[in-house]
Amino acid sequence: MEKQTKNGSDLKEKVKEFEHGSLISPLSSAKYLFKKPHTLQYPKETKPIPERYRGFHINDLDKCIGCGNCMSICPCEAITMVDVKAFYLVSSKEGTTDTRPQVDYGRCSYCGLCVDICPTGSLKLSKDLIYSSTDADTFVWVPAVEQGREIGFIQSDELTPLVLDKLEMSELEPDVRKKTFEELILGFSKEEAQAEAARCLGCGICMQGCPAHMKNPEYIQAIFDKDFNLSVKYMLEDNALPGICGRICTHKCQDDCVYNYRGDAVQIMWLKRFATDAIKDYSASDPVRLPQTGRKVAIIGAGPSGLSAAYYLSLMGHSATIFEKNKIAGGGLGLGIPMYRLPVYEIDKEVEHIKSLGVDIKLGVEVGKDITFTDIMKNFDAVYIGVGLSYGRAINLKGEDHPDVIQAIDFLRQVKVEGRRDIARKVVVIGGGNVAMDVVRTVKRLQEVRYDDGNTVAQMASLEDWDILPASKEEVEGALAEGVIFNPAWGPKEVRFNESGKIVGLEIKKVKSVFDENGRFNPTFFEDQIKTLEADYVVEAVGQMTNLGFIPEDIAKDLKYTPRRRIFIDDYGETSLVGIFAGGDLVETSLGNAISAIANGHRAAIGIDFYLKGK
Amino acid sequence: MTKEYELNIGPNHPGIPGNFSLHLELEGDTIVKANGDSGYLHRAFGKLMEHRLYLQNVALIPRICVIEPDINEAVYAMAIEELMGVKIPERAKYIRTIILEAARVNAYLFGLGIFAAATLGLYTLMQWAVGDRDYMIDLFASLTGARIYHMFIWPGGVRRDLPPKFEEDILDWVKFIKDKLPDYDAVFFKNSMFLHRTKGLATITKEEALSMGVTGPNLKATGVAQDVRKDEPYAAYPYLDFEIPTMTEGDAWARTIIRRLELELSLNLIEQAVKKMPKGPVWTKMPNPFKWYVPRGDAYARVESSGGEYGFYFVSDGGAKPYRVYVRGASMPHMYPLAEKLLIGQKLSDAPQILGSLNICPPEIDR
Task: Give the angle subtended at the CA of A143 by the CAs of A139 and A144, to the nearest 5°.
Answer: 145
% of chain A with per-residue pLDDT over 90: 16
- Counting the structural domains of chain B, the total is 1
Task: Give the angle subtended at the CA of A17 by the CAs of A11 and A21, to the nearest 5°.
Answer: 145
* B57·A52 Cβ contact <8 A: no
> Judging by beta carbons within 10 Å of its beta carbon (0-12, 13-18, 19+), is residue B130 exposed, middle or buried?
middle
Q: Residue A471 sits in a domain of what CATH number? A: 3.50.50.60
User: Which of A544, A569, A589 is the last residue in one of the domains?
Assistant: A544
Task: Answer yes or no: are the C-beta atoms of B84 and B295 closer than 8 Å.
Answer: yes
Measured distance CA(A373)–CA(A542) in Å, rounded: 30
Q: Residue A77 sits in a domain of what CATH number? A: 3.30.70.3270
Q: Residue A226 sits in a domain of what CATH number? A: 1.10.1060.10
Tens-digit pLDDT profile for residues B330-362: 888 888 888 888 888 888 888 888 888 888 888
A26 touching chain B per CB within 8 A: yes
Q: Helix, strand, or coil here: A397?
A: coil
What average pLDDT score do residues A595-602 get? 89
Given strand B4-9, what is the order of strands in its sheet? B4-9, B21-27, B30-37
Mean pLDDT check: name the lowest of A53-57, A273-277, A543-547.
A543-547
Q: How far is CA A44 from CA A39, A40, A41, A486, A568, in A?
A: 12, 8, 6, 70, 72
Expressed as residue numbers, the domain containing B130 is 4-366
Quote the pLDDT of residue A3: 44
Quote the pLDDT of residue A4: 46
Mutate to test the interface with B, among A113, A163, A258 (most CBs of B within 10 A): A113
The answer to the question of residue A11 being in a domain is no
Q: Residue B76 sits in a domain of what CATH number? A: 1.10.645.10
Amino acid residing at A202: G
Tens-digit pLDDT profile for residues A352-388: 899 898 888 888 888 888 888 888 888 889 899 888 8
Say whether pLDDT at A536 is over 90. Answer: no
- Counting the structural domains of chain A, the total is 4
- Residue B244 Cα, gap to closest chain A Cα (Å): 9
Measured distance CA(B23)–CA(B285) in Å, rounded: 50
Say whether pLDDT at B176 is over 70. Answer: yes
Q: Which residue of B has its CA nearest to A156?
A: B160
Expressed as residue numbers, the domain containing A75 is 40-162
Tens-digit pLDDT profile for residues A81-93: 998 888 877 777 7
* A163·B143 Cβ contact <8 A: no
Mutate to test the interface with B, among A29, A34, A166, A199 (most CBs of B within 10 A): A29
The answer to the question of residue A530 being in a domain is yes
pLDDT band at A218 (very low <50, low <70, confident <90, very high): very high
The answer to the question of residue A201 being in a domain is yes
Q: How far is CA B30 from CA A378, B335, B358, in A?
A: 106, 19, 20
Measured distance CA(B247)–CA(B238) in Å, rounded: 24
Q: How far is CA A3 from CA A6, A7, B232, B233, in A?
A: 5, 6, 21, 20
Which chain A residues have a beta carbon less than 8 Å from that of B285?
163
The answer to the question of residue A153 being in a domain is yes
Q: Do A507 and A420 belong to one domain?
A: yes
Which chain B residues have a beta carbon less than 8 Å from that of A266?
none
A9 touching chain B per CB within 8 A: no
H-only helix segments in chain B: 45-50, 57-60, 70-84, 90-114, 120, 123-144, 166-184, 192-198, 206-212, 217-220, 228-231, 252-276, 331-333, 340-343, 351-357, 362-366
The answer to the question of residue A438 being in a domain is yes
* A15·B192 Cβ contact <8 A: no
The answer to the question of residue A561 being in a domain is no
The answer to the question of residue A374 being in a domain is yes
Q: Look at the alpha carbons of A436, A439, A444, A447 in this order and tell me if their dihedral is positive or negative.
A: negative
Q: Do A94 and A145 belong to one domain?
A: yes
Q: Do A130 and A158 belong to one domain?
A: yes
Q: What are phi and psi of B162, to 5 degrees?
A: -65, 145
The answer to the question of residue A20 being in a domain is no
